[in-house]
Chain A
Amino acid sequence: MPEIIAALDEKGANKLLDKAIADMDPLGDSGSGNLGPFVAGYSITATLTNGDVDLIPPDTIRIVDLRLDWSLDLSFGLDLGSILPEFCLPQVCVDIPCVGTVCTPEICVDWPTITIPVSFSDYLKATVDLQLAISLVGGQWKVEAVVLAVPNLQFGPTSAALLAAIGAAATPILLAVPFIGPFLAMAVDIILAIIAIAGVTGFLGPIITPFISGLRIGLYEQSQVFEVLPATSPVDPKVDIVIDVVKAEVQHNGLEDELVLTADISA
């Protein structure tokens, strides 16, 4: 029989994960990814909120509707010359009184390369299965819930919204390009058509999925040398025990599924 037993029912497990997830450091990443044919640099921050916990013997914790709120800054460069037709101002002639007709030459416009910065925030929900993982590393016992498999994350509505945000972000940048006015709507349409929803999904997936697939939720962490009482005076030093073994599983006891953590100790 294990020497120490601690157990949580599903209600208790829900509260444990509420706190464990809320206490996690904010998630973040930066790098570059493919946004359709463009390469976009990005930085992203994300936070998780617990969903509903279902304990499944022997060692699975299922979180239904785990929510990931994320905020993304991305920017990509675009050579307008590659998407807009060549445009030349025609020869312009004016009649100057007492002088005659003066004409300017045809002047062709160079479409510049522009950088489009986009800021966008959204969230997604997913149901994830996590497995209990126990480790003793560097004198620390840890019990974590680790994602079992990458869930199928749905990006459809988010991709559409981000594509619209790209269009909205492109507009003021384009407006600063001389002679773009008459081509503005065309330019935005072309940009969005080139990237398309598939491009946005292809960009978001590799960035956001790791936040879920790499999720490790700490359920228990204690030093193997466990302090029972701290030192309180020079003649009352601290009192320690050693946690020799830690185990964790999900058990079905009576009518309840319970998260059970056990330990053996020595003086």
Chain B
Amino acid sequence: MSLTETEAVFASIHETALNDLLTAFFTDRPRYLVYGSPSFVPATTVAETSMPAIPFPGVPDGIQWRVTLGIPKVDLYKPTIPLPPELTLNPGQFSARLDVEICLNCRRLKIDPRPPRPGTAGRKDDKRGKDGPQPLSKVTCCKLSVFAVGHLEHVMAITGEDAIALAVDAVEIVDIQPDELESVVECLLFMILQAVLAEVRLPLRALRAGAFELIPVVGPLIEDDQIKMRGNV
């Protein structure tokens, strides 16, 4: 069987090279791996992304948090990396494994002895003080190993060219008890991973190292540890 089959052009990228691309992306733009509220990340830089704190009545400046992701290692079907039994890598899918660290600033709150003023219930009191975000006092973190499976989405890159993004279909964290807590954390990370990986839009041009022109007719699809495309010049 020819590479191009019924089309004029063929291109493929092996999972090894795909992981190189992901490593390059997250190394050059590490802020896509680190998200935190102002006490952890005062401002967005190349290294980290600043997000609002979680507002809660009675918690001045809100609940301060940080999530740090490791660079995901992707496995294209056929499976190479073992997965927990809850996940299966099907044809046309990818799996990913990464470490995640979640941190909270668990500070003790001071109870105001004065009675609450009338009309102040429900008022947001998480406004930032004039001295800036609350300093970190008691950072509490946990590290998790996260597994995911997903599929490719054909998208447009910021440059306007054809690109792919990794769309997460399911996430599994091993051994959190009780199971309901595991489900909640998996849900949280499912949404976080979907959002993060949707930002990683790899141009099809890069998947073929700039060789030739390719207007996709078939794919991009996952097959034989590769992402493959066929099309016209």
Contacts and interface: CB of A to CB of B under 8 A. Distances in A.
A116 interface: no
Contacts of B96: none
A239 B8 contact: no
Contacts of B157: 229
Contact of B14 (A1, A230, A234, A240): A1
Interface residues of B, number: 42
Contact of B4 (A7, A226, A230, A237): A7
Contacts of A263: 209, 211
Interface in B150-205: 157-159, 201-203
A253 B1 CA distance: 6
Interface stretch (B27-35, B86-94, B132-140): B27-35
B145 interface: no
Most B C-beta atoms less than 10 A away, residue of A2, A263, A267: A267
A12 B16 contact: no
A232 B32 CA distance: 14
Interface in A225-267: 226, 228-230, 232, 234-241, 243, 246, 251, 253-256, 258, 260-261, 263-267
A78 interface: no
B21 interface: yes
A258 B3 contact: yes
A225 to B, nearest CB: 11
Contacts of B21: 228, 241, 265, 267
B24 interface: yes
A264 B10 contact: no
A18 to B, nearest CB: 9
Given A3-B13, A12-B233, A239 B25 contact: yes
A261 B2 CA distance: 14
A5 B11 contact: yes
Contacts of B211: 4, 6, 220, 222, 261, 263
A4 B207 contact: yes
Contact size range, A: 35 or more
B81 interface: no
B233 A239 contact: no
Contacts of B207: 4
Contact of B209 (A6, A11, A16, A239): A6
Given A229-B159, A235-B31, A237-B46, A261 B20 contact: no
B29 A12 contact: no
A249 to B, nearest CB: 12
Nearest to A259: B212
B161 to A, nearest CB: 10
A16 B212 contact: yes
A253 B233 contact: no
A67 B45 CA distance: 56
A8 B209 contact: no
A65 interface: no
A256 B212 contact: no
Contact of A15 (B13, B24, B46, B233): B233
Given A235-B45, A253-B3, A7 B10 contact: yes
A8 B233 contact: yes
Contacts of B23: 267
Interface of A: 1-9, 11-12, 15-16, 220, 222, 226, 228-230, 232, 234-241, 243, 246, 251, 253-256, 258, 260-261, 263-267
6 contacts: A3-B17, A8-B212, A16-B212, A222-B209, A235-B31, A265-B20
Interface of B: 1-4, 7-14, 16-17, 20-21, 23-25, 27-29, 31, 44-46, 157-159, 201-203, 206-212, 214, 232-233
Given A9-B4, A258-B10, 15 more contacts: A2-B14, A3-B16, A4-B17, A5-B12, A228-B21, A228-B25, A228-B202, A228-B203, A229-B25, A235-B46, A239-B24, A239-B29, A258-B2, A261-B211, A263-B211
